[in-house]
Amino acid sequence: GAGVSQSPSNKVTEKGKDVELRCDPISGHTALYWYRQSLGQGLEFLIYFQGNSAPDKSGLPSDRFSAERTGGSVSTLTIQRTQQEDSAVYLCASSGAKLNYEQYFGPGTRLTVT
Amino acid sequence: KQEVTQIPAALSVPEGENLVLNCSFTDSAIYNLQWFRQDPGKGLTSLLLIQSSQREQTSGRLNASLDKSSGRSTLYIAASQPGDSATYLCAVQSSGANSKLTFGKGITLSVRP
């Protein structure tokens, strides 16, 4: 079946603009994660959605970052007033309902803020 | 707070050598540990997943072991090939409320022909 998909694959934006990144998880997966991979910090957790529960936003680096998950499926990560330090690869992963299930990763969105 | 360490950051070996990549983590309260491969400019490819109750997993020339009590895992690559050149990332899934993955910074492997 189809894996996790993300769009766009690449995004170049000017500093100060808002961007939206999209993630389509594997059908039937109730858990969805966003991670960020940047040169200096490695791969870091951003936010976690599980079913209809309130998301765990503990990894979001600032209030310029937000995420939604509509209908328990597609998720959008929004970055407002982008800064150069937001340049990174944003990865989405999904997994089944149990907490120890494997997470399957999408190909990522490479964001460049100029 | 879980911390994952991979040392060294880079490794260069001649083709055909057997090699071991190390990973250590600070909190043994984990669900599982996963090894990933990442090629330059690409996403993550999952190699092996070891549940906390398991000691090792094997796939082809790869073998991963887990010693949860000591906070260590190794990825063994047999008969290395130039195509194995990539960055190898270790990640642990903590048994907390959000079961997030905590990643090491990776080991960049170069296999010389």
* A112: Cβ contacts below 8 Å, ≥ 6 apart: A10, A11, A12, A13, A87
Using CB atoms within 10 A of its CB, is residue A16 exposed (0-12), middle (13-18) or buried (19+)? exposed
CB contact under 8 A, B97 and A56: yes
Q: A99 — contact with chain B (CB < 8 Å)?
A: yes
Judge whether residue A70 has pLDDT over 90. no
Q: B1 — contact with chain A (CB < 8 Å)?
A: no
Q: What is the pLDDT along chain B (113 residues), one digit of tens a residue?
A: 899 999 999 999 999 999 999 999 999 999 999 999 999 888 899 999 999 999 999 999 999 999 999 999 999 999 999 999 999 999 999 887 678 899 999 999 999 99
Instruction: List the single residue in A59, A99, A104 with the smallest CB-CB distance to B31.
Output: A99
Number of other CB atoms surrounding residue A19 within 10 Å: 18
Radius of gyration of chain B (CA): 14
Return the ∠ at Cα B45 (arms to A82 and B88), rounded to 5°.
Answer: 90
Judge whether residue A1 has pLDDT over 60. no
